[in-house]
Amino acid sequence: MLTLPDVPTLGLCSVLASLAFLGVFVFLWVGRRDESHLLHWAASSLIYAVALLAFASVAGPSLVIGLLYGALSASTLAVLTGVRRFDGLPPFRPWLLLPILVSCLGYLLPALAFGVDSPASRIGGTVGSIVTMLVVGLSLALGRAPQPSRGRRIAGAALLVYVPSFLVAIAAEAVGGSSVNMAALVPLLADQVLLAVLNLGLIAMPGERAQAALRDAALRDPLTGAWNRAGLRALEAPRLRPGTAVIVLDIDHFKDLNDRHGHALGDRVLTALAGCIRGIAPEPDAFLARLGGDEFVMIVPDRSPAEACWLADEIRLATQRVPDLPAWTISLGIARVEPGEADFAAAIERADRSLYRAKAEGRDRAAA
């Protein structure tokens, strides 16, 4: 029959697990010195391990124990500061001190009124831990992120799952009748699973970002930053609906431009064209892909034919205002996705025919 482990044994297991993850984060940081978020997560593991060891050895005044409850909250908040650093945001905000203050006072006030080791003081400290877990867990699981991340959501979910264990601990302390510190026992039991889930979720985040960057690089044109043909195929489904405007454009006499001024200047013109398009119709409102050479296609949803023509003309005029380049112009062809079309191929073909009509009519214009 299974027996319930005691608090010191569970605490030791959590300390060893935290030190192991501390070593992992430090080892990863040694090889990636620019990824300072790893140091925040290492600090989280270190603070947690030190706080647990201090709880096991300190039976001192209420102020010291209150500070240790604050340290537990700080270890959890270091997870959030690391994630903020990972996202390129300032890691610290003054409001992050509030959960630490709630944890300290949550223990100290009942301890002063009812005693250092009273159920009321342990419940108060546990309430502070609940507040911290909710703040950090909800921020990770539901907060806005630069890109979707399963690791982030897993880490956030792990923190939120701690909350029921704290509530069980509070209920057990309120009922009383046990010589065991239930405010420590129940969360430490949860620790044996959730601590690993939390840290593995954090470890997965850099790998997810690297994988997304590789995928993005494979689907984008390295010169202009526009999507390539593979990107167009991979990402067309959510944009494919009847009425979506398709604008095909290229640079007039681009070969002559390259021959007269060199390919380096031709590359600058291509980059300038992509920049003009993004300035007029940035993502995600518009989708820009380079089909090859100097030919681009824009996918613009939710625009009337008149709006698509206006947009095309604005881009044409914007290219004429680019400084430090020889004079150059573009021609554009406009079409729309028709009901029943399974991809953009037919609409691009129609827009391409419009483009050739614009060139036949004298270039430096749009045709629909």
Domain match, 206 and 282 both: no
CATH number where 27 lies = 1.20.1070
Q: Are 293 and 310 in contact (CB under 8 A)?
A: no
Within-domain flag for 1: no
Average pLDDT, the chain: 92
CATH number where 279 lies = 3.30.70.270
Domain match, 208 and 339 both: no
Q: Are 72 and 42 in contact (CB under 8 A)?
A: no
Domain match, 148 and 273 both: no
Task: Enter the tokens of residue 32.
Answer: 């990636």
Within-domain flag for 222: no
List the domain range (segments joined by +) for residue 194: 7-217
User: Rg (Cα) of the chain, in Å, rounded?
Assistant: 30
Domain match, 209 and 261 both: no
Tell me what pLDDT residue 2 has. Answer: 62
Within-domain flag for 89: yes
Mind listing the pLDDT tens digit for each residue in 210-236?
998 898 889 999 999 999 999 999 888
Domain match, 130 and 247 both: no
Mind listing the pLDDT tens digit for each residue in 229-248?
999 998 888 888 999 999 99
- Cα–Cα dist 28/94, whole Å: 29
Q: What is the DSSP string of 173-189?
A: HHH---SS-HHHHHHHH
Domain match, 104 and 197 both: yes
Domain C-terminal end among 150, 184, 217: 217
Task: Enter the tokens of residue 81.
Answer: 């500061």
Reference 332, options 317, 312, 304, 350; nearest CA is 312
Cβ within 8 Å of residue 45, ≥6 positions away? 18, 19, 21, 22, 25, 75, 199
Domain match, 43 and 168 both: yes
Please, which pLDDT band fits residue 177 given cuts at 50, 70 and 90?
Answer: low
Within-domain flag for 223: no
Question: 115: alpha, beta or left, given left = phi > 0 and alpha = psi -120 to 50?
Answer: left
Tell me what pLDDT residue 79 has. Answer: 98
Within-domain flag for 361: yes
| Number of other CB atoms surrounding residue 211 within 10 Å | 10
Domain match, 60 and 203 both: yes
Domain match, 126 and 206 both: yes
Within-domain flag for 224: no
Tell me what pLDDT residue 191 has. Answer: 95
Within-domain flag for 290: yes
- Cα–Cα dist 82/89, whole Å: 10
Domain C-terminal end among 217, 238, 273: 217
Mind listing the pLDDT tens digit for each residue in 58-110?
776 788 999 999 999 999 999 999 999 999 999 999 999 999 999 999 999 99
Tell me what pLDDT residue 1 has. Answer: 53
Question: How many structural domains does the chain have?
Answer: 2
Domain match, 233 and 213 both: no
pLDDT exceeds 70 at position 310: yes
Domain C-terminal end among 191, 217, 243: 217
Tell me what pLDDT residue 238 has. Answer: 85
Mind listing the pLDDT tens digit for each residue in 178-195?
677 888 899 999 999 999
Domain match, 90 and 122 both: yes
Within-domain flag for 251: yes
Domain match, 278 and 197 both: no
- Cα–Cα dist 98/357, whole Å: 66
- Cα–Cα dist 79/202, whole Å: 8
- Cα–Cα dist 197/157, whole Å: 9
- Burial (CB count <10 Å: 0-12, 13-18, 19+), residue 365: middle
Mind listing the pLDDT tens digit for each residue in 126-150?
999 999 999 999 999 998 888 889 9
